[in-house]
Amino acid sequence: MIALAARGVRVVLLDIEGTTTPISFVHDVLFPYARARIGAEWHAAMDRDEKSSELKRLQGLIWEQGYRAGELRGEVFPDVAPAIRRWRAAGLRVAIYSSGSELAQRLLFGSTPDGDLTPFIEGFFDTSVGAKKVAASYAEIARRLSCEPREMLFVSDVTAELAAAREAGCQAVLSVRPGNAPADEFVESVTSFDEL
């Protein structure tokens, strides 16, 4: 168990894929949905999993149509909604940082089986703040959330992202979830948000 208050954490910053949401939802549901509706010129970029802002924006718009039509519904691990509500009740702030567009993030968290979680999430950040493997991105998120980097805990399944967050002065914890690729050793890890 990682006691957040005792460690001075004020903001919990969460990755999505492999952290709040199964990788299979992204790769087996969202990507195929967008691929079937996207222009041919974008197929190769999707296949390479490019992080281009224009591609992410286009995917978000396609997914928005799917969510509005009831063809898509956000998916999160069962421990995510209770944890977010518990953290907020304890006075902690919650934010999201993903390579998916801010729109795509809001759509996912706005339509989970546990209801609309967006009112509990203070900030949605995408790569417009910077790349996820660059320390300056985490410093910028801390600045935008008006907190010190040391007061922010980043949870992700990608050790290079966690290393960048730590380089910026943030606290960082590895998310170990079913379906995630084996990760390099990391100082701290959790298999459920119940441990935070």
- What would the pLDDT profile of 90-120 be if each residue is shown by its tens digit? 999 999 999 989 999 999 999 999 999 999 9
* Nearest-angstrom CA–CA distance, 64 and 94: 23
Judge whether 146 and 117 are in contact, CB under 8 Å: no
**What mean pLDDT do residues 135-151 have?**
98
Residue 114: how many other CB atoms lie within 10 Å: 14
* The pLDDT value given to residue 102: 94
Q: What is the pLDDT of residues 58-70, one digit of tens each?
A: 888 999 999 999 9
Burial class (CB in 10 A: 0-12, 13-18, 19+), 6: exposed
Torsion of CA 135, 141, 145, 150, to 10 degrees: -20
- Does domain 5-22+73-195 match CATH 3.40.50.1000? yes
Report pTM.
Answer: 0.93
Q: What residue segments make up the domains of the chain, in order of their start?
A: 5-22+73-195, 24-68
| pLDDT for the residue numbered 43 | 79
Query: For the segment 144-171, what is each residue's pLDDT rounded down to a tens digit?
Result: 999 999 999 999 999 999 999 999 999 9
